[in-house]
Structure 1
């Protein structure tokens, strides 16, 4: 494990493995860097791969008040530590964060957005998100996780089982960060068309055909907005794709 200091003095922990073109992996909600380690192991055969703990998670520090720009600064600090440029892959709300960072002008060579969970234009999700935040404020962490997972499309029984996983409640407070990321450029977590239009790098958008329909629909909509984008639909895959299936898709795009 290595550490870098972000612009506000917060320590960000990261791991680096492999050799080749530099690639940063950004995890989504309720995940620390360990969640993407299996994917990193697969990609390290061809890339200099970095997985990191987003602020408030794992071995990274935190500061208050939270701001999405602080997370963008964290990625900027990683880029500096890596030598100035890298490709970036983000999963779920981590993809939304990667989009914010790319739209802010960070010097990525390429961008991969894997199912950023932007909501439909005709559905207001702000009240639902507020319910999760209220549960967190009351320190009802497990209930907040359960509700969040169901809002993301997970069946209730699976959400209850997942929320009971050891250590997951430690990450629950950072759900508020992910809601802030989703709302950053488009209130209600809808597709941030203006932000996406500022991403000039070659971008791959990934979606599994078995994922919740709103995520698949979002993937199709954002490809239309990105100046230089292509779509890869993974047959019969849902929101979490096995590394042995996902890595070849990323490898083919990033090394083309």
Structure 2
């Protein structure tokens, strides 16, 4: 049964909590939630058997974390803080895709983050291009054109991803969930608002940037740039392809990183 927590802004966030020990909280990117993301659930289960506590939430506006109105970055960070508190008061954040930007923003904002693991952060565009991309996405979102907003958000992703979503029987549900991407967009704009060294200066926790063994052009370079700019940064490769990690390999790495950060 899902755990529930109320955020400081009054939202209710649902999550799974497993294991005991230093905490890991997973931060999904645009789209995924527990019911459609078995890889993260498997990773959390494997890691929880090895001396850590794992929390896998549904982002606001997805799955069991129902939310109405403007779901912005402030609400998402409040939800993340509520999950961290429920997991023990501090945690390693594991960001996936645009969830990496949210995880970084959380650490920079002073949430109790003991470490950051960022898998395939999409930090491949200059800040001006990110602002233009997300600006048009938000314009379509505010106009109520959710189909257009989804297409705009996925503009630079492999075209078969959007084609596959449109053929999915749950396409309308996918489209309705695009309102939850606003927080991703705001976080991505923040990542392009200043040089990495300035953005990451407040983050004292160790930062590990990862890509899959079979990744997209530019991802490894972006990971290396973030790691180089972080006060305590490192980068690496984990088994994975098509923007998805291998659960067993990722669980092993996360346990080692989290237990090491807790010492």
| Distance in structure 2 (CA, Å) of the matches to 1:253 and 1:14 | 22
| Distance in structure 1 (CA, Å) of the matches to 2:88 and 2:256 | 24
Q: Name 1:177's counterpart in structure 2.
A: 183
| Distance in structure 2 (CA, Å) of the matches to 1:50 and 1:9 | 20
Give the number of the structure with larger relative contact order, counting CA–CA contacts within 8 Å between residues 6 or more apart.
Answer: 2
Q: Name 1:87's counterpart in structure 2.
A: 92
| Distance in structure 2 (CA, Å) of the matches to 1:106 and 1:192 | 19
Give the TM-score taking structure 1 as reference length: 0.86
| Distance in structure 1 (CA, Å) of the matches to 2:234 and 2:89 | 25
Q: Of the candidates 158, 163, 166, which is equivalent to residue 160 of structure 1?
A: 163
CA contact (8 A) 1:223 1:231 kept: yes
Q: In the alignment, is residue 141 of structure 1 matched against residue 142 of structure 2?
A: no
- Most deviating of 24-33 and 112-121: 112-121
Q: Name 1:14's counterpart in structure 2.
A: 15
Q: Name 1:128's counterpart in structure 2.
A: 133
CA contact (8 A) 1:142 1:164 kept: no
Q: In the alignment, is residue 71 of structure 1 matched against residue 76 of structure 2?
A: yes
Tell me: CA distance 1:231–1:48, structure 2 relative to 1, closer, same or farther (3 Å).
same
Question: What is the Cα deviation at residue 26 of structure 1?
Answer: 0.8
CA contact (8 A) 2:60 2:71 kept: no
CA contact (8 A) 2:73 2:182 kept: no
Q: Of the candidates 97, 105, 114, which is equivalent to residue 102 of structure 2?
A: 97
After the TM superposition, list the runs of 4 or more consecutive aligned residues in structure 1 that deviate by more than 6 angstroms: none
Question: What is the Cα deviation at residue 224 of structure 1?
Answer: 0.9
1:193-232 equivalences in 2 (<5 Å):
193-232=197-236
CA contact (8 A) 1:136 1:144 kept: yes
2:129 is paired with a residue whose SS is coil
| Distance in structure 1 (CA, Å) of the matches to 2:82 and 2:240 | 37
CA contact (8 A) 2:210 2:236 kept: yes
Q: Name 1:119's counterpart in structure 2.
A: 124
| Distance in structure 1 (CA, Å) of the matches to 2:180 and 2:46 | 27
| Distance in structure 1 (CA, Å) of the matches to 2:210 and 2:23 | 20
CA contact (8 A) 1:191 1:218 kept: no
CA contact (8 A) 1:118 1:191 kept: no
Structure 2: gaps (5+ residues): none
Once superposed, what is the RMSD of the aligned Cα atoms? 2.4
Question: What is the Cα deviation at residue 108 of structure 1?
Answer: 1.9
| Distance in structure 2 (CA, Å) of the matches to 1:213 and 1:24 | 28
Question: What is the Cα deviation at residue 64 of structure 1?
Answer: 4.2
Alignment deviations for residues 127-175 of structure 1 (CA, whole Å, 9 cap, x no partner): 3333433443454434433443341x31x23431134332322312222
Structure 1: gaps (5+ residues): none
| Distance in structure 1 (CA, Å) of the matches to 2:238 and 2:87 | 31
- Most deviating of 219-228 and 161-170: 161-170
Question: What is the Cα deviation at residue 88 of structure 1?
Answer: 1.5
Tell me: CA distance 1:195–1:62, structure 2 relative to 1, closer, same or farther (3 Å).
farther
What is the number of equivalent residue pairs in this alignment?
Answer: 252
